[in-house]
A and B are shown apart, each in its own frame.
Chain A
Amino acid sequence: MTQRFLSHQELASLVAELLAAKTRVIAPVRAKDDPEQVEYQPIQSLEDAALGVRIPRRSLKEFFLPPTEVLLHYRQTKTGVEIREVATVAPPQVILGALPCDAAGVAAVDKVMNWDYRDELWFGRREATTIVSFLCSLMDATCFCTAVGLGPESSTGSDVLLAPVTGGYLAHLVTPKGEALLQAHGSEASEATLAAAEAAQREARQKVEQNLAAIPAEFAGWLASNFDNPVWKTIALRCHGCGGCAALCPTCHCFDIVDEHESADEGVRRRNWDSCQTALFTLHASGHNPRQSQSERFRQRIQHKFSIYPSRFGEILCSGCGRCSRNCPGGMDLPTIVGELVAMAQAKPEAGGQ
């Protein structure tokens, strides 16, 4: 991996050049309705950005999978139905100051979107986007990226990873896309810069590691064989089933597809975010619902993230960003819940018996 030093001034020039070339630049900015809060939004200059201030309220997911998007337009004619497809090539954009957990979340969804079918809309946006992440120093008590195999210095999903050092950043050029972005910027990093960045990385990791120990590989198997464990009956008592967790989750990617009429003979097919935390998600046309209560719906959330997806793709479908816990009106805390389940999985079977 190539490393390079980038001064504050060089970063500002890079942003200015991108904007001049009509590239959309997205960065964390102060939320309009609440300046205490930060969210990813398009910026007009580097000064608009609020880098390293606070964990953005929402993840990067909406820039690749919008809450609603048109898949096709249709029109009924006398002879049949005319279909008009939507463009799958997206205009170029750069995301600056992404959290490593948010970049990793996008990479996790890549696998699903290229599994049994290659999702052209998702990859149209992915290919047009360069993600420049920041070494994270914003962790709080709900963060657990290190427990899911990532970390505040993780470059998974990022094209460039910037680590703040004196006078600027140490830029790790992770992908050819990242190298292309910075080819005309920055200078060779000094030994001191490399050492400072490494120290910052270690410190950042230690802060998150306190929240939850690394989830052991056997956890996925334990979940799979404990589908009927009585723990599921009581684990989600305080869960309202609102699905706010799924909306905020960088890795939750389920969607619903609907046709909506716009006039007597014209309409659109859209896909909209959906969530396994609501009863409607699994409601059959017959009226039967295989996931009757929130106990079963929450079990699904845990099983999918920590067992089903890992069995398919070898990784956990969670980047440890903590948003689900931070926003939960019922006080469901994923690091605590996963910690308790892991402890059950690791507990020795009781001695004695018959």
Chain B
Amino acid sequence: MKPLQELAHKLLSEGTVKVVIGYEEGPRGVRPAFITDAAQAEKLIFDIRCVQNLAAYLNPRRTQVAQLGKAAVVVKGCDARAVAGLIREKQIDRDGVVVIAVRCGGVLQNPETDTVLTSETVSARCGGCAVREPSLHDYMVGELPAEPPVNPQRAEQIAALERMSPAERWNFWDEQLSRCIRCHACREACPMCFCLKCTAEKSQPQWIDSSATLQANRAWQTMRVLHQAGRCVDCLECERACPEHIPLGLLARYVADAVERRFDYVASDDPSVPAPFGVYRADDEEEFIR
């Protein structure tokens, strides 16, 4: 992508940033790229295989990236929401990062196998995207492609969950969570999990047992997803990292939908918009407190 390469070249050669975090062709499809030399900027690409949320590399826990110096990051609109989240939650400074937004027409669900974007191959999170030109950006590159096709899979999964009785839903998640091995890969890969000490690792007292028993797995995944309420940007890094293929994105989306219904809030691409977790409103409904 020429404008992206030229911009990266300029930012690096002028010394505005020390590294451009983008996408490049890897040995097995697209992979994250860390371009520190302007001459290498031509490696940068952007296409429908670029599923990764590179905002994860701005997470202050990625110290190996932070040591490179000030970064520019290539983001899709959805990823810009994660950058906005990190700024909103004071993990990074707005001035500490250069945001290069790429106008996006959706990405593939399975970039390893598919090559064309259709309503079956597009990621189920792309349909109806409202942030294809995110408000958070320093530069916006590329032409605006056609709107992404709508893959009904996720909406169908959510509807199926809604139709279940509480007992059925409980059993569904028990079956999924019984596979969790408590490796915490979901947390480590998540752009928004930045706590230096996770509740799962607090031992005085031990809030959550560290063993992969069903009871502890339930506690762990419930705790994580509730901490993600209104913060998760549905990038599915957790699901991509999970060695047990647990549909963690579905769990997070279910909670995100509840936040949207109750607080009329979707994780915003504008860092100045407060998130439900960070504000107190006297008129918040609290009928569940008795």
Interface residues in chain A, defined as those with a beta carbon under 8 Å from any beta carbon in chain B: 31, 33-34, 37, 57-58, 67-68, 141-142, 233-234, 236-244, 246-248, 256, 258, 260, 270, 272-273, 275, 278-280, 292-295, 325-327, 329-331, 333, 335-336
Contacts and interface: CB of A to CB of B under 8 A. Distances in A.
Interface string B182-206: 1111101100000000000100001
B245 A33 contact: yes
Given A141-B27, A242-B188, A237 B65 contact: yes
Nearest to B23: A331
13 contacts: A141-B27, A237-B65, A242-B183, A247-B183, A260-B211, A272-B212, A273-B181, A280-B201, A292-B63, A293-B67, A329-B241, A331-B26, A331-B28
A80 B68 CA distance: 55
B56 A243 contact: no
Contacts of B68: 237
Contact of B211 (A142, A241, A272, A292): A272
Contacts of B183: 242-244, 246-247, 273, 275
Would you list the 10 A-B pairs with minimal beta carbon distance, nearest first? A331-B31, A242-B185, A242-B188, A67-B181, A329-B240, A247-B243, A293-B63, A244-B185, A68-B212, A329-B241
Given A329-B240, A330-B31, A278 B188 contact: yes
Interface string B217-251: 00000000000000000000100111111010000
Nearest to A330: B32
Interface residues of B, number: 41
Interface centre among A34, A239, A331, A336 (most CB of B within 10 A): A331
A33 B28 CA distance: 25
B34 A234 contact: yes
A134 B116 CA distance: 36
B184 A294 contact: no
B165 interface: no
A333 B32 CA distance: 12
A92 to B, nearest CB: 25
B119 interface: no
A58 B184 CA distance: 17
Contacts of B61: 241, 279
B213 interface: yes
Given A141-B28, A333-B26, A57 B245 contact: yes
A234 B68 CA distance: 9
Contacts of B27: 141, 333, 335-336
Contacts of A67: 181-182, 212
B151 interface: no
